[in-house]
Amino acid sequence: MSGQFDVQIIERDDRQARFVVRGLTPALANGFRRAMVADVPTFAIDSVRFTENSSVMFDEMIGLRLGLVPLTTPLNDFEIGDTVTVALDVEGPATAYSGDIESSDELVQPADDNIPIVELKEGHSLKFEADAVLDTGKDHAKQQGGVAVGFRHLQSVTVGDDIGEFDEQEPEILRGAIETDEGEVILTKEFDHDLTNRYPGTELTVEDVPGAYVFHVETDGSFDVEELVLRAAESLGDRADELHDAVTV
């Protein structure tokens, strides 16, 4: 296998991206996906010390919700196992939001400020201190940085002859991105996922492009997509090195 992969970014913003990678085997593509899901660590609240909770939910229910709140994770400044203390103090009537969580480290903050934790009525109050731990998705799903990470074969479309004037054309539904005759990669949402909208009245052949995969990556807000993808590639490389060192005497 060649050491080079050709990467082409189709769409990209902070929290989600779609890109084509050429020169992969299915196993390597899946290894890469799994690295994004399980190997890139994020901060998540792990243990909570409640000092006051007179809300309608039990401590455990609130603890579960807190664990799912994404926290920004600058991976250059922390190592796996590091903890950051956070605290919250809200008195009702009010709703406790993730944005009310105060962190002892300004680099580690809730990624979204509007997640409702619990609604507090008159006389209710919620007060706690909690530890956020940096760990990988392998350890607990709440620590996964990648969300809905997936890949599929890149498909290429070849336009054939015109179909008969009175022939009915079946819809040809595709998802993600396709490669056109000219070798251009376009998103299927541009033609509402139905190829017959783009090429009406023609015969179409759709084939998988060997070794080319379209990845769709989203993050929970802990870091941007670029960070997630690069860290995943790095961890895959590290593990390959580890295996190499282990088998060479």
Partner 1 sequence: MMIPVRCFTCGTVIGEHYEAFEERASDGDEDPAEVLDDLGITRHCCRRMMVSHTDLVDVVAPYQ
Judged by the rule CB under 8 A, the positions of this chain that interact with partner 1 are 54-57, 61, 65, 68-70, 98, 111-119, 121, 124, 141, 144, 147-148, 218, 220-221
Quick one: 91 or 112, whose CB is closer to partner 1? Answer: 112
Distance CA 125, CA 45 (A): 20
Least separation in angstroms between CB 170 and partner 1: 24
Least separation in angstroms between CB 116 and partner 1: 6
Least separation in angstroms between CB 68 and partner 1: 4
Quick one: 69 or 212, whose CB is closer to partner 1? Answer: 69
Least separation in angstroms between CB 78 and partner 1: 21
Quick one: 219 or 235, whose CB is closer to partner 1? Answer: 219
Quick one: 82 or 112, whose CB is closer to partner 1? Answer: 112
DSSP string, the chain: --S--EEEEEEE-SSEEEEEEES--HHHHHHHHHHHHHTS-EEEEEEEEEEEE-SSS-HHHHHHHHHHS-B---TTT--TT-EEEEEEEEESSEEEEGGG-EESSTTS-BS-S--EEEEE-TT-EEEEEEEEEEE-TTT-GGG--EEEEEEEEEEEEEEEEEPPTTPPPPP-B--SEEE-TTS-EEEGGGGTTBHHHHSTTEEEEEEEEEEEEEEEEEE-SSS-HHHHHHHHHHHHHHHHHHHHHHH--
Q: Characterise 183 by phi-psi region: left (phi > 0), alpha (psi -120 to 50), beta (else).
A: left
Q: Which helix (H) or strand (E) holds 195?
A: helix 195-198
Distance CA 186, CA 189 (A): 9
Quick one: 46 or 218, whose CB is closer to partner 1? Answer: 218
Least separation in angstroms between CB 147 and partner 1: 5
Quick one: 39 or 220, whose CB is closer to partner 1? Answer: 220
Distance CA 51, CA 89 (A): 10
Least separation in angstroms between CB 83 and partner 1: 21
Least separation in angstroms between CB 240 and partner 1: 27
Quick one: 31 or 92, whose CB is closer to partner 1? Answer: 92
